[in-house]
Amino acid sequence: MSAYLITNVSVVGGAPTDLLIRDGVVAGTGTGLAAPDATAVDGTGLVALPGLVDLHTHLREPGREDAETVESGSRAAALGGYTAVCAMANTSPVADTAGVVEQVWRLGREAGLVDVQPIGAVTVGLAGEHLAELGAMADSAARVRIFSDDGHCVADPRLMRRALEYVKAFDGIIAQHAEEPRLTEGAQMHEGEVSTRLGLTGWPAVAEEAIIARDVLLAEHVGSRLHICHVSTAGSVEVLRQAKARGVRVTAEVTPHHLLLTDEKAATYDPVYKVNPPLRTDSDIAALRAALAEGVIDVIATDHAPHAVEDKECEWAYARPGMLGLETALSIALDVLGPQWDLIAERMSRAPARIAGLADHGHDPAPGVPANLTLVDPAVRRTIEPAELASRSRNTPYARMTLPGRIVATFLRGEPTVLDGKAVK
Ligand code: DOR
Ligand code: ZN
């Protein structure tokens, strides 16, 4: 195993220090460290963060390898500063058996660029009718702890209750895509002034809020852990705030795009802005940002949703929802939060690692911790060129935008996956 000496780097915004990485762990910190055998990395002006952890990534393998593979998505993740991603279950076939989650887990190990932790489906085929083999997925080599039908809501309250009861035995989590399907039939964008103006069918905020309200009550009743995917409205924040104040075991995530972009983007009719849940309003953004600062929202998760050209470069109504996120998330966080490094580390690494139970991740670089970390240059501004992304897909909403921050290096268990801003393999 190799050794790296990162000199003069700010660890999570602190005073510059050196970081020695050896045998997969942080072997030492302090000024003036010497390690003649180690490869030197000049950390001047850089910030070291615990490797980012994404609770919500779509890798598309198996089934849509034209849009993304475990390997291409892993490379995009590493370039974005991630050392672990949780892979959503809406693949084809669906990750609803031990066999499929083990396949995804094994492909992640083979790629070796980030730790890929599969999420299992809650219901067979995401059809919302019968519980999937939750226990078999939990006992498999993939050791699944989070289950989600993401892309679909577990709408049947009895099934949701049974899923919560089932995972309680092993302290698992149900991650809900909160969307009351009867309230969003035919929906194309956020229901509000802009949808009225454009004449597009609206997706009302209450369709999300009603499911979150129901599910925090169910989780409270059962005593299980609930996680809410991609919270997008001010009303959802209020429901979560009250539930957390009562001690309900609920956690929540927000995406970078819901922190930055509004429903006004739909007026372009460019399907790159079509996403589920839809982009909301300025007042929702303000509430989401406040909730993130306060801790009512625990995590920034990307909902990285690669789509092939034919599924995005078409009429708005026919386009698939979703946008890329892994390679731009840290820049959006920096743009939205500024250099609040401790908050960024908490919301993008420590909290998601804790929620997912990824024990090797989410630790600030310190002697003895696994060397899963990323080095950020906050002074660089870069212009996003879709053609330069490592993802197989091109559906970034940030094309040609200039954003702050660049990932200079990422280390997974002491080995670089990214150096000088480039993927190592
Ligand atoms: O925009 C979205 N895209 N939302 C989802 O819930 C699913 C995802 C996808 O799989 O493309
Ligand atoms: Zn999703």
User: 409: domain CATH number?
Assistant: 2.30.40.10
pLDDT at 425 over 90: no
Pocket-testing residue among 229, 276, 311, ligand 1, by greatest number of atoms within 8 A of Cβ: 276
- The residues carrying an active-site annotation are 303
pLDDT of 137: 98
285 shares a domain with 138: yes
Let me know whether 328 and 403 are in one domain.
no
1, pLDDT greater than 80 = no
Task: For residues 382-391, give the mean pLDDT.
Answer: 98
Tell me, in angstroms, the distance from the centre of ligand 1 to residue 46's CA.
Answer: 34
Cβ of residue 150 lying under 6 Å from some atom of ligand 1: yes
303 is in an annotated binding site: yes
Determine whether the annotation assigns residue 271 to a binding site: no
Q: HSE, CB side, 13 Å, CA atoms: give it for residue 127.
A: 7
Measured by CA distance, the residue closest to atom 2 of ligand 1 is 322
Q: Looking at the structure, tell me whether residues 60 and 36 fall in a common domain.
A: no
Residues 127-141 have pLDDT tens digits of 999 999 999 999 999
Neighbours of ion ligand 2 (CB under 5 A): 150, 303
The DSSP line for 165-204 is HHHHTTT-EEEE----GGGSTT--EESSHHHHHHTPPEE-
Does one domain contain both 298 and 419? Answer: no
| Chain mean pLDDT for the chain | 98
Q: Is 230 inside any structural domain?
A: yes
Among all bound ligands, the one having the nearest atom to the CA of 177 is: 1
SS3 353: helix
pLDDT digits (tens, 9 = 90+) for 266-309: 999 999 999 999 999 999 999 999 999 999 999 999 999 999 99
* Same domain? 197 vs 60: yes
Residue 275 Cβ contacting ligand 1 at under 6 Å: yes
Q: Read off the pLDDT of each residue in 327-342 and give the average, rounded to a whole number.
A: 98
Give 50 Cα–ligand 1 centroid separation in angstroms: 27
Q: Is the peptide bond before 62 cis (omega within 30 degrees of 0)?
A: yes
Are 399 and 386 spatial neighbours (Cβ–Cβ below 8 Å)?
Answer: yes
Distance from the alpha carbon of residue 421 to the mean position of ligand 1, in angstroms: 28
Number of domains in the chain: 2
**Of 310, 336, 356, at which residue does a domain stop?**
356
3-state SS, residue 38: coil
Asked whether residue 258 is marked as a ligand-binding residue, the answer is no
Q: Is 329's pLDDT higher than 80?
A: yes
CA-proximal residue: ligand 1, atom 1 (nearest): 322
Which of 74, 86, 53 lies closest to 361 in space, CA to CA?
A: 53
Question: Do β-strands 225-228 and 250-254 pair in parallel, antiparallel, or remain unpaired?
Answer: parallel
380 and 310 in one domain? no
Domain around 193: 52-356
**pLDDT value of position 184:** 98
Q: Does a structural domain hold residue 254?
A: yes
Ligand 1 pocket, 277 CB below 6 A? no
289 lies in the same domain as 392 = no
Which atom of ligand 1 is the closest one to the Cα of 274?
A: 1
Q: Which residues pair with 415 in a beta bridge?
A: 412
Residue 362 lies in a domain: no
Q: Are residues 39 and 67 in the same domain?
A: no
Helix (H) or strand (E) holding 364: none
Give the DSSP H/E element, type plus range, for residue 137: helix 134-139
In a domain, 220, yes or no: yes
Measure the CA–CA gap between 263 and 188, rounded to whole angstroms.
11
Atom of ligand 1 nearest to the CA of 322: 1
**Closest residue (by CA) to atom 7 of ligand 1?**
151
Asked if 65 and 41 sit in the same domain, the reply is no
**Assigned domain for 316 exists:** yes
Average pLDDT of the segment spanning 352-374: 98
Q: What is the CATH number of the domain that holds 214?
A: 3.20.20.140
Is residue 58 annotated as involved in ligand binding? yes
What are the C-alpha distances in Å from 27 to residues 202, 346, 369?
54, 23, 8
| Distance between CA atoms of residues 198 and 53, nearest Å | 37
Phi, psi of 148 (to 5 degrees): -155, 140
Q: Which of 356, 385, 414 is the last residue of a domain?
A: 356
Measured in Å, residue 39 CA sits from the centre of ligand 1 at 41
Q: Do 115 and 224 share a domain, yes or no?
A: yes
Same domain, residue pair 183 and 331: yes
pLDDT digits (tens, 9 = 90+) for 6-57: 999 999 999 999 999 999 999 999 999 999 999 999 999 999 999 999 999 9
Mean predicted confidence (pLDDT) in 202-214: 99
89 CA from centroid of ligand 2 (Å): 9
For a mutational test of ligand 1's pocket, the pick from 122, 148, 150, 232, i.e. the residue with the most ligand atoms closer than 8 A to its C-beta, is 150
151 lines ligand 1 (CB under 6 A): yes
Cβ of 321 closer than 6 Å to ligand 1, yes or no, is: yes
- Same domain assignment for residues 375 and 336: no
361: in domain: no
pLDDT tens digits along 70-86: 999 999 999 999 999 99
List the residue whose alpha carbon is closest to atom 6 of ligand 1: 151
Separation between Cα atoms, residue 398 and residue 189, nearest integer Å: 19
What is the predicted pLDDT for the residue at 337? 98
Segment 96-102 shows an average pLDDT of: 98
> Residue 137: CB partners within 8 Å, gap ≥ 6?
95, 96, 97, 98, 101, 118, 120, 144, 147
Chosen domain end from 329, 356, 383: 356
State yes or no: 307 annotated in a binding site: yes
Residue 392 domain-assigned?
yes
398 sits in the region (left: phi over 0; alpha: psi -120 to 50; else beta) called: alpha
Percent of the chain past pLDDT 70, that is, above it, reads 100
Residue 236 predicted with pLDDT over 80: yes
- pLDDT tens-digit readout, 125-177: 999 999 999 999 999 999 999 999 999 999 999 999 999 999 999 999 999 99
Question: Is 90 exceeded by the pLDDT of residue 110?
Answer: yes
